[in-house]
Structures are given as C-alpha cells and as structure tokens.
Amino acid sequence: MAHKVVVTREVFDDALDRLRAAAIVVDNQGDVPLPPAELAARAADADAIVCALTDRVDAALLARCPRLKVVANIAVGYNNIDLAACTARGVMATNTPGVLDETTADFAWTLMLGAARRITEAERYLREGQWTGWQLKQLLGVDVHHATLGIIGMGRIGQAIARRATGFSMQVLYCNRSRLDAEVERGLNARWVARDELLAAADFVVLMVPYSEATHHLIGAAELARMKPTAVLVNTARGGVVDDVALVDALRRRVIAAAGIDVFEGEPAFHRDFLALDNVVLAPHIASSSAATRRAMAMLAARNAIAALSGERPPNLLNPQVLQA
C-alpha cells in the first residue's frame, strides 16, 4: 500500500514533487489554515504529516491517526508539537534546524538597526508629508557601532548574530544555559555573564531562546526595568518569551528606548497598543523568510518525512527514543 502524506500549508512545488515521488500527497496549496477537526479528518489514514508552526499536533490528533509514522515540522521550533505524546505513540517528530540560521541572524540585525535608527518612524514621517527639510536634531537615533550587544540564547542563531557584531566593533555579552567552550568564545569575541548583568550592561538585547515553560515571560517588567533607558530589545525567538503587556508599557513610558519585534504572544493576534507606538519596529514572524531559506526548510521537512517512511532515521529526529522501542 502506498504511503499517504498530508501537507498542512502551502509549500514550494519542488518539495511537493519530492514527496509525490515517494507517496500519495494531500496538499493545501490554497493555504487555508486547517481547523483541528479538518486536519484530523485529512490525516486519519496518513502515514506522515508535514506541518507548520500554525498546526497543533497533540494527543487528540494523534489518537485519530493510527497509521501515523512521522510529523515533519517546517520550522526549527516545535512547541506546536506534543513531543511526549508523539513518543508515547511511537511517532517520529522532526524539525528543520541549520538551514535558517544565517537568514534569521540577518533579520535580527535588520530589527536592531531599524529600531536603533528609528527607521519605521522616519518612513512614516516622510510618507505622511511631515518632512519640510533637514534639521540638526531630526529623528536622532542611537549608534550600533562600538556599542555592547547582549545575546540571550547562544545557540547556532545566537552565534551567527554574534559573528556579525565584529564588523560593528561591538562588545558581545551572552547568557546561555551552558557556557560555550573558551575557543568558541574567543572566535566570537564574546563573554559569558549572568542574565541580570547582561540586561544592565547591554545597549542591545537580542533574544534567541526557544519557547517553553522555563522561558515563558523570560523578559517581563522587572527585566525591562534593569535595562538601560537607551537600550533596544530585539525578539526574533518566540512569542511568549516576552511579556508583551509589560513591553508595551515599558516602551510607552520610555523605560527602554525602542524594540524590534518579529514574534508575539498569541500570534497572529497581538497587543494592538504596539501600533500606537513610534519606538517599535514590527514584523509578522518573517525572520526566516527569504526565498532560498523557506524553500530549504520545506525541502528538509520533505527529506525528514521520506526518510521516516523509508524505514531510515530522519536527519533531524527530535525523539530518537522511538527507534529504540
């Protein structure tokens, strides 16, 4: 019997072609998000689900998919997947790490520079016809060069962000669950410090931690108050890592100078008061959104799914214990 793969959102044609060479594919190129009941109905006899962060894969869904062998997430994060439930049912779960590191690091810098130099505010000022000529004190921003960069979460993407700081002659501080090897620190010109020290010393704080119970509201009112009033916060990690209510309040009261935000609590819903603030650069979760990177993510998810269906170990298996059962 041929394998069946359900693809939950629109993907690139070459990723679909790769899947179709190995299985019967039910796609969603119309890109209409599938409600849980619809996803369960489509996947009831599926061997694989290729999904996105917008899809919740939990015990209830898995119970309705008795043939399921693998869930291939088109993302590096996987908090949309109940990993324990997958493991309990012997379902492999995979993600797409590595292929998006450099693109996401680029975008973190985009938000950092945009917030520092007030680019959103400046463009609105120009488009609305308010600009009447050059002024010495017009839209004064803060310098990035020779400033102190603080990175919370020094995995692959955090290190890619740190590498870019060399060109700006920045001092780099970082906080991580475990300290990097001394040789890696030297290569990045980075120094490990405690989180409170980083928050107090950094001119730019970039968050690159995964979302979990442990990192929920990692940055809240107390942490924002420890930052410099001239500091800029950048979040390209996950919504929920920052308490958005506290951040809106801190930006409104100028507890910190500015922020660049790509992810939000409860997205695509977000705190609407962000829209009234001039000192925040907002983006709709697009840090990895270059054509080459998003294609590479889809292709890697397809490779993960095909490997599992072929009886091989997927290259990015999150729960290897399913192979030991």
Return the structure tokens found at 300: 């890697």
Return the biggest CA–CA distance within the chain.
Answer: 73
CATH class of 4-99+291-323: alpha beta
DSSP code for 179: P
Cα–Cα distance for residue pair 71/94, rounded to 1 Å? 6
- Same CATH fold, 101-282 and 4-99+291-323? yes
Q: What is the pLDDT of residue 325?
A: 63
For the sheet containing 258-261, what is the strand order? 190-192, 171-175, 148-152, 204-207, 232-235, 258-261, 280-282
Q: What is the pLDDT of residue 324?
A: 84
Run of H or E including 192: strand 190-192
Q: What is the DSSP string of 113-159?
A: HHHHTTHHHHHHHHHTT---S--TTTT-----TT-EEEEE--SHHHH
pLDDT in the model for residue 254: 97
Share of the chain above pLDDT 90, in %: 99
Q: State the DSSP code for 57.
A: B
Residues involved in catalysis:
238, 267, 285
Residue pLDDT tens, the chain, 325 long: 699 999 999 999 999 999 999 999 999 999 999 999 999 999 999 999 999 999 999 999 999 999 999 999 999 999 999 999 999 999 999 999 999 999 999 999 999 999 999 999 999 999 999 999 999 999 999 999 999 999 999 999 999 999 999 999 999 999 999 999 999 999 999 999 999 999 999 999 999 999 999 999 999 999 999 999 999 999 999 999 999 999 999 999 999 999 999 999 999 999 999 999 999 999 999 999 999 999 999 999 999 999 999 999 999 999 999 998 6
pLDDT of residue 186: 97
Where exactly are the structural domains of the chain?
4-99+291-323, 101-282
CATH topology of domain 101-282: Rossmann fold (3.40.50)
pLDDT digits (tens, 9 = 90+) for 66-102: 999 999 999 999 999 999 999 999 999 999 999 999 9
Q: Which among 34, 22, 25 has a CA at the least distance from the CA of 61?
A: 34
Q: State how far the Cα of 258 lies from the Cα of 241, in Å rounded to an integer.
A: 17
CA 275, CA 281: separation in Å to the nearest integer? 10
